[in-house]
C-alpha cells in the first residue's frame, strides 16, 4: 500500500526542472541558484547531511575564497585556467564574499588574502549554503544514492536512484547538474561516482591523482620531526635533479609526511613526477634571509658569545627551533654534546650547507584520504565554459571538483566550486 501511495504521488506532482546530484559546495550553489530563478529543483545527496567536506575544510575553519585581484587569483589555478575564466568573471571572489555576507556570515581577510568566517567555524559556511537552498524552495533528499543518469537520443530525461529505505526510484527531468566532487576525503562522500556517470555518458576522464597532499620521504630523521612547523622557509622542488618550482612559507611534518602550505602547493608537481617514475627531492633553506657568508659570520658571532665548554646543541638552539636541534645534530653527524671548542671549520661549513639546503628525498605521496582536492576529472574541452553544459549530452551540466580543475591551497578550490556551481545553476543553453 505504501508503495502504491508513493507511486501515485510521483505521478500526480509536476516534474522537476532540474535534478542536482551532490550537496557539496558546488551542488548547493547550483541548486540554490536554479531555485532562486524559479526552477523546481531536486537535490539528491547520498550522505546523511549536506556539505560534509565543506564542514571539515580549512581544518574546520573553511577558507571560503581568496581576495586577490582576478588576474592574480587565476594564476593560482593549475590547469584549464582559460576554461574557468567565464565562470569566474560571472561570479568571482568578490561576489562570493558578498553572497555569504548577505547570508549573514561575517568574513575576515587574513594573511595571504585568505577569507575565513569570522566565527572560525566551517559549519557557518555549510549552513549558509543549505539555508540558501531551503529558503529558495529546493527539495533535498538525503541518504539517496543515484545509480544512473538516464538519457534518450543524446538528451537527459531523468535519473534513477535508491532512497534511504533501499527502494529504487526513477525521477524524470530534462536537466541534471552533476556535482559529486572528486575522490579526496572519501569519508565525506567523495568517492568518484560522478566520474563513472560522466564516463558512462561518453565523457573522457583525465587521470585522477591526489592534489594538495602530503609528501612522503625516506629521510632518516623524519621520525624525529613529527609535529614540527617551520615558518619563513624557502623550499625548492627538484625533479630529476632540475629545480621545477620554489615556494616560501610554512612547512610542517607529521606521520602523514611533509605538509603545510608550501609542501601542499608543490605536491601537484611532485605527484605527477613520481607517477612518471622520475626522481624527486625537496630542499629547504632554513635561513633564506642570509647568504652563506653572512650566515658564517652570524655563527662566528654566536660562538664568540658562548663559552668553549658549551655544547653544540646550544649553538643550534640559537639558529633553529628547539625541536629541530636533535634531528639536525644527527643529520650533521655531530654529537649534540660536543664542546664548541672541538667544532672544526669543516663541521661549520657542513652546518652552513645543511641550513641552506636541508634535503628530503621524496619517495611517495599521501593517498586521497589526506588530499585536499583531486587532480584530473572530466575533460574540460567536452564542456561548454559559458554554461557548464556537456557538449556531448544535452541537458547535462557539471560543476566543481568533478571537472578537471584544481588550484593551489588558499581558498581557490572552493571558489572554483562556487563559480562553476552558480554558472551551472543558471541553466543557460
| Residues 128 and 103 sit within 8 Å (Cβ to Cβ) | yes
**Residue 186: its pLDDT value, please?**
87
Distance in angstroms (rounded) separating the CA atoms of residues 252 and 366: 14
Q: What is the DSSP letter of 311?
A: B
pLDDT at site 185? 87
Q: Which three cell numbers stand for residue 267?
A: 605536491
Residues facing residue 170 across a β-bridge: 160
* Rounded to 5°, angle at Cα 368 from 364 and 370: 85
Looking at domain 2-209+374-425, which CATH architecture does it have? Answer: 3-Layer(bba) Sandwich (3.50)
Pairing relationship of beta strands 114-117 and 139-141 according to DSSP bridges: unpaired
Grid coordinates of 222: 623524519
Phi, then psi, of 234 in degrees rounded to 5: -95, 120
Place of cell 561518453: 202
Q: Are 129 and 29 in contact (CB under 8 A)?
A: yes
Check: CB of residue 360 under 8 Å from CB of residue 237: no
Predicted local confidence at residue 13, as pLDDT: 56
Quote the mean pLDDT of the chain. Answer: 95
Residue indicated by cell numbers 549530452: 393
Rounded to an integer, what is the distance from CA 198 to the centroid of its chain? 22
Find the helix or strand (DSSP H, E) in which 209 lies.
Answer: strand 205-211
End-to-end CA distance of the chain: 41
Give the integer Cα–Cα distance in Å for 288 and 355.
9
> In whole angstroms, what is the distance from residue 292 CA to residue 299 CA?
10
Q: What is the pLDDT of residue 216?
A: 98
**CA–CA gap between residue 113 and residue 179 (Å, rounded):** 27
Domain residue limits, the chain? 2-209+374-425, 214-366
pLDDT at 189: 85
Going residue by residue through the chain, which has 429 residues, state the pLDDT in tens, using 9 for 90 and above: 444 444 444 444 569 999 999 999 999 999 999 999 999 999 999 999 999 999 999 889 999 999 999 999 999 999 999 999 999 999 999 999 999 999 999 999 999 999 999 999 999 999 999 999 999 999 999 999 999 999 999 999 999 999 999 999 999 999 999 999 999 988 888 899 999 999 999 999 999 999 999 999 999 999 999 999 999 999 999 999 999 999 999 999 999 999 999 999 999 999 999 999 999 999 999 999 999 999 999 999 999 999 999 999 999 999 999 999 999 999 999 999 999 999 999 999 999 999 999 999 999 999 999 999 999 999 999 999 999 999 999 999 999 999 999 999 999 999 999 999 999 999 998
Q: Distance between CA 303 and CA 310 in Å, rounded?
A: 9
Amino acid at each position: 500500500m505504501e508503495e502504491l501511495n508513493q507511486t501515485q504521488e510521483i505521478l500526480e506532482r509536476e516534474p522537476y526542472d532540474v535534478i542536482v546530484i551532490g550537496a557539496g559546495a558546488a551542488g548547493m550553489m547550483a541548486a540554490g541558484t536554479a531555485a532562486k530563478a524559479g526552477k523546481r529543483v531536486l537535490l539528491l545527496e547520498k550522505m546523511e547531511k549536506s556539505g560534509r567536506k565543506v564542514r571539515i575544510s580549512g581544518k574546520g575553519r573553511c577558507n571560503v575564497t581568496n581576495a586577490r585581484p582576478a588576474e592574480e587569483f587565476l594564476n593560482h589555478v593549475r590547469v584549464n585556467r582559460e576554461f574557468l575564466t567565464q565562470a569566474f568573471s560571472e561570479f568571482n571572489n568578490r561576489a562570493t564574499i558578498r553572497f555569504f555576507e548577505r547570508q549573514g556570515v561575517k568574513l575576515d581577510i587574513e594573511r595571504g588574502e585568505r577569507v575565513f568566517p569570522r566565527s572560525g567555524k566551517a559549519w557557518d559556511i555549510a549552513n549558509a549554503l543549505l539555508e540558501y537552498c531551503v529558503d529558495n524552495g529546493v527539495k533535498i533528499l538525503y541518504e539517496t544514492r543515484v545509480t544512473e543518469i538516464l538519457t534518450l537520443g543524446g538528451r537527459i530525461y531523468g535519473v534513477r536512484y535508491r532512497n534511504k529505505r533501499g527502494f529504487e526510484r526513477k525521477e524524470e527531468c530534462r536537466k541534471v547538474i552533476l556535482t559529486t566532487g572528486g575522490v579526496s576525503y572519501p569519508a565525506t562522500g567523495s568517492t568518484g561516482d560522478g566520474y563513472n556517470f560522466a564516463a558512462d555518458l561518453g565523457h573522457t576522464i583525465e587521470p585522477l591523482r591526489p592534489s594538495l597532499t602530503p609528501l612522503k620521504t625516506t629521510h632518516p630523521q623524519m621520525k624525529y620531526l613529527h609535529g614540527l612547523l617551520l615558518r619563513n622557509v624557502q623550499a625548492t622542488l627538484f625533479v630529476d635533479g632540475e629545480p621545477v618550482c620554489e615556494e616560501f612559507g610554512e612547512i610542517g611534518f607529521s606521520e602523514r609526511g611533509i605538509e603545510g602550505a608550501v609542501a601542499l602547493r608543490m605536491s601537484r608537481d611532485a605527484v605527477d613526477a613520481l607517477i612518471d617514475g622520475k626522481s624527486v627531492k625537496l630542499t629547504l633553506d632554513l635561513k633564506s634571509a642570509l647568504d652563506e657568508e653572512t650566515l658564517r659570520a652570524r655563527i662566528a658571532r654566536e660562538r664568540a658569545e658562548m663559552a668553549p665548554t658549551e655544547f653544540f646543541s646550544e649553538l643550534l638552539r640559537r639558529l633553529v627551533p628547539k625541536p629541530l636541534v636533535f634531528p639536525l645534530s644527527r643529520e650533521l653527524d655531530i654529537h649534540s654534546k660536543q664542546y664548541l671548542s672541538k667544532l672544526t671549520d669543516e663541521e661549520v661549513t657542513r652546518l652552513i650547507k645543511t641550513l641552506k639546503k636541508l634535503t628530503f628525498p621524496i619517495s611517495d605521496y599521501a593517498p586521497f584520504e589526506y588530499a585536499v582536492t583531486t587532480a584530473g576529472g572530466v575533460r574540460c574541452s567536452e564542456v561548454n565554459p559559458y554554461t557548464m553544459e556537456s557538449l556531448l549530452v544535452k541537458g547535462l551540466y557539471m560543476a566543481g571538483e568533478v571537472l578537471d580543475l584544481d588550484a593551489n591551497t588558499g581558498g581557490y578550490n572552493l571558489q572554483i566550486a562556487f563559480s562553476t556551481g552558480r554558472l551551472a545553476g543558471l541553466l543557460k543553453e
